Structures are given as structure tokens and as C-alpha cells.
Amino acid sequence: MSQKIRLFTAVLFLLLFLAACIGEKGAAPTAVPTPIANKELSTISLPTAEASSPTAEGGSSGSEDRSQMPEGELLPTNSPTPITDNRLPLTAPYPNLSRAPLTDAERLTAVQLETNYPPDRDDVALFVAYKGATPPSDDDTPLAEVLPVGTRQIITVNNTDTNVNTTAEFILQHVSDHAYFWFDATPGLDEPSRRDLQEMGDGFDEIYERSRLYFGEEASPGVDGDPRIHIVNASPLNLCDIGPTELDFCYLAGYFSSHDLIPQSVDPTSNAREMFVMNGRGFGYPGYLDTLAHEFRHMIEANYDSNDWDWEVEGSAMLAEELVGYPGDGIYRANLFLQNPDQQLNRWTDGNTIPYYGQGYLLNRYIFNRLGGELYRAFATYPGPAFTALDDLAQQYDLDFAGGLELWLDWLVALAIHNRPDAAEKYALADGVHTVRPDALPTSETTVYQYAADYYTIPAGQKSALTFTGSNHVPLLPVLPTSGGHMWLANRANYSAARLTRAFDLTAVTQVTLTYDLYHDIEVGYDFAYVSLSTDGGQTWQPLAGAQMQGEAVDHDPSESALTDRFYTGTSDGWVQEAIDLSPYAGQEILLRFEYVTDPILTFGGLALDNIAIAEIGYVDDAESDMGWTAEGFIRATGYVPQTWHLIFITFDAAGPVVTPIAIREDNTAVIIPPNSTQDSILIVAATAPMTLLPAHYQLAVGSER
């Protein structure tokens, strides 16, 4: 069993890319780096790789090219029976630029999505429930002695190109104050020199001490009872789908996987230790320590909050590189993001993630600047989503912002004006960070992603007012409920386990069938949805299999991470109808459960259900009422939710930028009056709606002259 080796990935870039964008290492732990353009290749990369296009970071908790990951392909269900009538936009009740008033049900759906966060994923509980594992006792953690150099152990690593796990023998070559350094006995690695072992060991020990000051502490002594971290330097042959002559074409730098924190008594495939897997070809090179700083931040975060949003998880890890004195290429990535800031904050792509790392880094750097080191540590150790943490910190410490949303809006402004010497201090970012380049006003209806922004230039001397019209609605998914106005929907969150559970009495029937309509858009091979039942009151769960489920093909779950043999993963490409024979359980009282389990990074649209029925006992649930279900992270959702808009006008006078929020009417319209100014102004259009991955539609119209 393996978590995806992508969650917290820090990429080994190709040489040309590295030469162009990696910043100089800073000695001071809080220094903000300035990128250096023509750094010598030998100081930043492997010695013989050829130059090519940049790769993107991936994620289990590591560094790699996610754009090449097999999980990026969405697998269809097996011979699906689609329900096509309810796919958008065929029967959409609202146009893209909806002017219809909101319903109470739509408002309630939005509130529930904001407040009903799915439970954290509990790996031990899942293995007990689905695999029959025995829960570990307090006595299961060994009291470890320091391992001697020369120790040999079998360790499992993941091939991040194929998502297949491999076991290999590793030799312990060095022991520092806080780490063990293991090296793969598989061909593909040079023998590390004593000098490199000492320098990398000392470097990590420094990273260890500084990181704990800024971000908190990892679980220690941890699952193996040993306070030292295991740094596992693997051969590229075990990490990437390459041959012996292609060793320098494995672009993974390293990863951290929370799966290795599970005791082996629960899951024998776990390495059962606090560890990172590193590409051993990078050992001794400067980027190696950057990656260790990045991955150690992930390990620390796993001790406090395993299911925060991607931007916080990866952005804070990039900030960690900088704060502990080993800055990588955060500034470069930030500037890539600034070329196109219309990029959804709370959902990453499965392709080129470099700008997303830049976005996450920039927002974490901004939060650090606004909070300061002490309160940023409180933010980093908060056991909940990032915006919730900011809400609570703002109230607890009476800060100069109301909460996460307001701070995010301030950050949007900072992206436009932070480098102006006359800008307010609260808009400061970092040296070397560019500003956004506003576009000309659109001439027709356009879109902006959720938790993203469009920037427009209002030319100096413009005398015509602008009329803004924003859609009142946005769909939650590309499909609508198949009947009625509601569907059961699993809320979207990393490292979570949303559950929908109900008791059924089958004692009066001999033949029984469960049917339901299903839509799923799930990260293939990493996230899974299960249907199961329990006959012992929920102590253990028996997996159920349906014709629309995946699991028969190896590429549905190449790392064997799923908890059952059959499951839902990939995309159903619309609604499908499922039928599962429950006759083997006739004559019994059962608990039925739908469960959607995600890994530590990257979520897609998720799982929706409608028309859940067991006809033989007269049960039909079209999701128009709770119907006896216990919902944890599931809600009864309408097909649309309210679209919220934010307009910010930035004008410039002799004293500097003047930032003015524009009042928006209840019907999502507003009038913007340009100033009588000799300088251009900037209009920011931002949108927010819970969970949805679909963009918001709006229009800006130029009116008559004043």
C-alpha cells in the first residue's frame, strides 16, 4: 500500500530550467532571496543531464514532474450506463450569466459546504474497518537504539512514473544528530564521499533545528520509537520509469509519504518510520538540501493538519526552504503565476503545477509578512483549514484584518502594487517578485475562476462609468441532480474520509438489490470511493462490488493503495446507474456506507449520489430529505450555489495608491465611476464560491459619458 508519491513534491528541474531560475542560498534563515540568472550548472543540478523544458512538482509529499504522472488520466467506468439528461448545459435551469434570484436551498447548500468539512482520514481506523487489522497499542512503539553505520534494511519506495511500489535493500552510510542517511544498493548511485555525508548531515541538522522554530515539531520519537529522521536515498531506477543509461532523466527530487507513519502491525507494507525518499543522484548537490527543507515541512505539518488545501501545504513548504536558509526557486515560480493570476487557489491542476507552487508560496509569504514569525507558527500548527486558522487568529489576537477572506483580498491588491515605494506596508511581498499586468477591459461576457482574480486597466481620463454584472449562480458540478432539486455530495478536501451511513432492516426479505445514480470525478489511482456494509454494528465493513466500479485493471490502482478490490476512481463521464446485489445479506440488519477517501493533495469534483433505493423494502431516497442517513462530510446539495463577487478599485494620487472596495448590489451588479485622474487605475474582479471547480461568469459594460 502506498500514498501517492506526489503530495509534497519538490522537483529536480532540468538543467536549463535550473540555471535560469534557482536562487542563491541565503545564510540568514529569514532572508528573502533574489533570483540569480546565470548560476553555474554544476552548483545546482546533476552533472550530466541535458537541458530540456521545465518539469512540474508532484505530490505524495515529494518533488517530481506531475505533468507526466499516470494519475493525470481519468479512467472511465466499465461500460457505463449514463444518464445524459442532467449533464450541463443541456438542461441547465440558469444561463451562465444567471440573473435569477437565489433560493433558500441554494443558500443553505453554500453554508453547509463552508461548515461541514469532511473528517480527517484516519488510516489506522480504515485498515481496522476494511482490512481487519488490529489497532496498535501503546506498547507497539519500540524503544529504538541508534542504528550503527553499515546496517542493511529492506525499504519500499514508489516509482513515481508508474505509481508502482518497489522494495530494495538500503545500507546505512551516515548518522547525524537528527537523521539516518540510507543508500540504495540497487545500481545507479555513486558511493557517497565522507565529505558529502558530513556536509549533508550537518546541513539537515541545521534545517531540522530552524524548521521546528518556524513550523512546530514532527511526531517524535514517532512510529518507530526513534527520534532520528530516515533519509532514504534511492536509485533513479527505482523512482522513475527509466533504463540504466537514463539515470539523469529521473526528475523526482524527493518525497514524503504519510503512509510510512502507519505501524506495520496495522499495514505490513508501511515502512513504519518518519522518512523521506530522495533521488540519490542529487546527493551532495545544493538542491538536495532545498528539497530536505521542503519535505521536512511536510512531515511537520502531518503532525498537526494533514488535510489543508494544496496552496497552504506546498506554499508553506516552499516558504520553509527560504526561512531556513536554503531558498529554491519560489520567486521564479511566483513570477510565473503572476503572468496569469486567474488561477483557482483551492484547486490545483494535474498538469503543470509550477505556477501553483508560485501562488502558494506568494500567499504564504504574504501571510508570514502580515502575521510575523510567532503568529505564523500558530497558523502553521493550527489543526484546520488555512482560512479558518486565519479567522480564529484574527479574532483571538485582534489583528488588523477580519479573517482569511479579507487577508486574501488584501493579497490580491498586493499583487498589483507591492513594489511601489508609496504603497502601504501591509501590501509588502518580497524582493524580486513582479506585479500582475492588468488587461484591457473585456468587450464581452468573460469568466474568472473561483478564489482567483482578473485585473483590468482603467485608462486615465476615462469619462464613462462601468457597469458590472456578475452571475448569481455557479454549478457545483458539470451535472445536476437526476431527480428533484438535491443530490448527496461529498465535500471536497485533502486527506479526508467523507462518509454517508444508514441502517437498513433486511430481515423480512430474501432477495434484495441496492440501486443508485452515481457521478464521480476522482483522482485516479490515488483517491477512491467505496460502498460497503457492516453486520456487526460498524466494527468491520464488507466491501461491495458493482458493475460500474473500477479495480479490474492494474492501472486503476497500480500502487495497490485502495482499501478494497473494487472501488470508484477516475471519471464516470456523467451520471451512471449502479445496481448491487445485497441478497447474501438478506435476513439481517445492516449498516450501509458510501465513503470517499482522498490522499494528501489534489482533489477533483468528487462523488455525488442520487435516487438511492432498496425497492424490496420500499426505500427510495431522492436526496430531498435526510431519510435517516448519518452524513459526515456529505451534504444534500443543490446543483447550483450562490456566486459571490468582490470588486476592488485601485486609484493613484499624490500620496500613493488608494484602495477602495466597490459596493455590490444584492443582484450582483455594481457601477464603477472612474476618477478624474491623470494616472491609470486598476480594477480587480474576484469570485468565491464553495467547493466548485467551475468558473464564474460576468460582464463589464462601458456606459455613457458622465
Let me know: does 158 contact 2? Beta carbons within 8 Å: yes
SS3 126: helix
Q: Which pLDDT score, from 0 to 100, does residue 56 have?
A: 30
Q: Which pLDDT score, from 0 to 100, does residue 349 have?
A: 84
In angstroms, rounded to a whole number, what is the distance separating the alpha carbons of residues 43 and 15?
11
- Which stretches of 411-463 are assigned E, i.e. beta strand? 446-448, 452-458
Tell me the pTM.
Answer: 0.87
Structural domains of the chain in order of their starting residue, each with its CATH number? 15-69+133-396 (1.10.390), 82-117+477-638 (2.60.120), 438-474+642-705 (2.60.120.380)
Q: Which pLDDT score, from 0 to 100, does residue 493 have?
A: 95
| Strand pairing class (179-184; 229-234) | parallel
List of residues 6+ apart from 138 with CB closer than 8 A: none
Let me know: does 498 contact 491? Beta carbons within 8 Å: yes
Q: Which pLDDT score, from 0 to 100, does residue 136 have?
A: 87
Q: Which pLDDT score, from 0 to 100, does residue 87 have?
A: 63
Q: What is the DSSP letter of 519?
A: E
| Whole-number percent of the chain with pLDDT over 70 | 86
The three grid cell numbers given for residue 647, joined into one nine-digit string: 470588486
Closest CA to 633 of 445, 500, 504: 500
The most distant pair of C-alpha atoms in the chain lies apart, rounded to whole Å, by 83
In angstroms, rounded to a whole number, what is the distance separating the alpha carbons of residues 405 and 193?
50
The three grid cell numbers given for residue 333, joined into one nine-digit string: 515560480
Q: Which pLDDT score, from 0 to 100, does residue 704 have?
A: 59
Residue type (1 letter), 691 = M
In angstroms, rounded to a whole number, what is the distance separating the alpha carbons of residues 623 and 625?
5
As beta bridge partners, residue 511 has none
Give one word for 298, left, alpha or beta, with left for phi > 0 and alpha for psi -120 to 50: alpha
Q: Which pLDDT score, from 0 to 100, does residue 86 have?
A: 66
In angstroms, rounded to a whole number, what is the distance separating the alpha carbons of residues 339 and 437?
7
Q: Which pLDDT score, from 0 to 100, does residue 351 have?
A: 81
As beta bridge partners, residue 515 has 579, 613
The three grid cell numbers given for residue 194, joined into one nine-digit string: 565522507
In angstroms, rounded to a whole number, what is the distance separating the alpha carbons of residues 97 and 448?
12
Let me know: does 44 contact 284? Beta carbons within 8 Å: no
Pick out the chain residues at pLDDT < 70: 1-91, 139-142, 704-706
- pLDDT, tens digit, 9 for 90 and up, residues 138-161: 766 667 789 999 999 999 999 999
In angstroms, rounded to a whole number, what is the distance separating the alpha carbons of residues 258 and 300?
11
As beta bridge partners, residue 614 has 514, 619
3-state per-residue secondary structure call for 471-509:
CCEEECCCECCCCCCEEEEECCCCCEEEEEEEEEECCCC
Q: Which pLDDT score, from 0 to 100, does residue 22 have?
A: 28
Tell me how crowded residue 507 is: count the other CB atoms within 10 A of its CB: 11
Let me know: does 593 contact 541? Beta carbons within 8 Å: yes
Q: Which pLDDT score, from 0 to 100, does residue 71 have?
A: 30
In angstroms, rounded to a whole number, what is the distance separating the alpha carbons of residues 257 and 641?
35
Q: How many Å separate Cα 317 from the centre of its chain?
A: 13
Determine the Cα angle at 254 with ends 252 and 258, to 5°: 125
Per DSSP, the residues of 523-553 read -TTT-EEEEEEESSTTSS-EE---TT-B-SS
Whole-angstrom Cα Rg for the chain: 26
As beta bridge partners, residue 153 has 170
Let me know: does 361 contact 318? Beta carbons within 8 Å: yes
Q: Which pLDDT score, from 0 to 100, does residue 53 have?
A: 29
